[in-house]
Amino acid sequence: MEMTPELSDLITIKKNIEDYCNDSFEVKGFENWAYSSDLLEVILGPTLYLETISTDFNKQSSNRKLKQSLQKWLASNPSLPSEEQVKAIQESHQKSYEERIEIIRKKYESLIKEKDAEIINILREKTIGFPSLARALAYYETLSDFHHSYFLERKSHPAVNTAAKFSHLATEKRELSRKLKITIARLDYYEKLFPWLADYVDVDIDALLSYVSEQDKEPDDDPVRKFLAIGEYEKLSTAERNQLALERYWMGKKKPWQLGRDYERYIGYLYEKDGFDVRYFGVEEGLGDLGRDLICTRDFEVLVVQCKYWTANKTIHEKHISQLFGTTVMYEIEQKLSNGNEQQKFIHYKPVFITSTTLSEKAFNFAEHLNVEVREGVKLDKYPCVKCNIIGHSGEKIYHLPMDQQYDKLITSRKDRFYVKSAIEAERLGFRRAWKWLGNRQA
């Protein structure tokens, strides 16, 4: 029998399959070849062909399973179809495809409309569940491209070159999808290592990152203006406008991370009242605080405090306790390395977990075993939040409002630093606000 091009291709297909099963055909090359072969479905049949092109070639287990199926097929000693049989099969497929394509086209148009509407809704909630959003979009677009390729190859007048481009793009997207899965797994792993990352899943990431990035910048305008209506700033006296801004700061609606910041400040205030020097590590370091919200120091006692201002329906789990214990040990080691073990040997470091909600039973058991002090049900309360400071070398009196840039860097447990309830009270005592507008610069 004369060797026609079709039969020559079929023989090559069988040889490539044998090489793949014997590990003589590189996996990536076999995957690309399988997607580009026009006659592979003819010789394998629809079921085995579908298994082949659906295999995740990046997984050894998937490759092993496919090779087992192909080896069974080879062991059955399949005969190569004749040229007439090939043409008959292709004509039969073509007729079936043409009938199904019309059904698919109608369904596809309907799905496209639904998809567009759904994606718009998902993107409006871009900061909620973004890993699943990325996964869903990647999978959808990959399947969509394969569908386009399949349609272009099988339509009445095949667009083979265009179909090949779509197949190539789809293969690239499969690789990107694989990398996405790895990234998601890593994020899950990082969340287990640093449980505080989960606190930022449901927040406005854009607003939070904007806030963090602004912390080291000098403000271009008085922060008080954000809380005043147009005209109020100029009409009111300094004390009146600062006090009005302070009242609106407390009355205004806040995002969860802003409430968390206020909660840390409130807990810090309570410790300062008790004679501790408090470093507001969480507010200063932002996303890089490693779960150390407050570092409270008094004599030879150092408390590493984590604050969780959560709603009553949320429960603290053991991972948060473990993370606080770990970051406390890390902080102690850092201090001993930087200050010397001799100086540090009298200092006692202790982790403290303070929350507005409650701990799970397992988390409570963890805390007891790891000697982590726990305070549950501590609510955020309004407190005297205006910080007053008498500058030692000059005796100048200044005060800071919560919206001022240097607010969290001022330690108020010293005699020349203290809290008062209002801006009016601070100015009555002879203090001026630390922020002072002088044309294009700040004093």
What's the pLDDT score for residue 360?
A: 92
Digit-coded pLDDT (tens) for 356-390? 999 999 999 999 999 999 999 999 998 999 999 88
Poorest-confidence range of 122-131, 217-226, 392-401?
Answer: 122-131
Q: Starting at the edge strand that comes first in sequence, how are the strands of the sheet with 348-355 ordered?
A: 277-279, 294-298, 301-308, 348-355, 373-375
Mean pLDDT calculated for residue range 88-111: 64
Please give the pLDDT value at position 410.
75
- Per-residue pLDDT at 430: 93
Contacts for 150 with CB less than 8 Å, ≥ 6 apart: 163
What tens digit of pLDDT does each residue of 201-234 get?
A: 555 555 555 555 555 555 568 889 989 988 888 8
Please give the structure tokens belonging to residue 290. Answer: 């490693």
Q: Is the pLDDT of residue 427 over 90?
A: yes
**This prediction's pTM:** 0.55
Domain extents in the chain: 5-190, 207-375
Question: Which tokens is 202 given?
Answer: 């449901």
How far is it, in rounded angstroms, from Cα 343 to Cα 224? 44
Give the per-residue pLDDT at 121: 58
Average confidence (pLDDT) over 151-177: 55
> What per-residue confidence (pLDDT) applies to 301?
93
Fold held by 207-375 = Trna Endonuclease; Chain: A, domain 1 (3.40.1350)
Distances 153 to 56, 171, 255, 347 between C-alpha atoms, Å: 22, 16, 52, 74
Amino acid at residue number 79: S
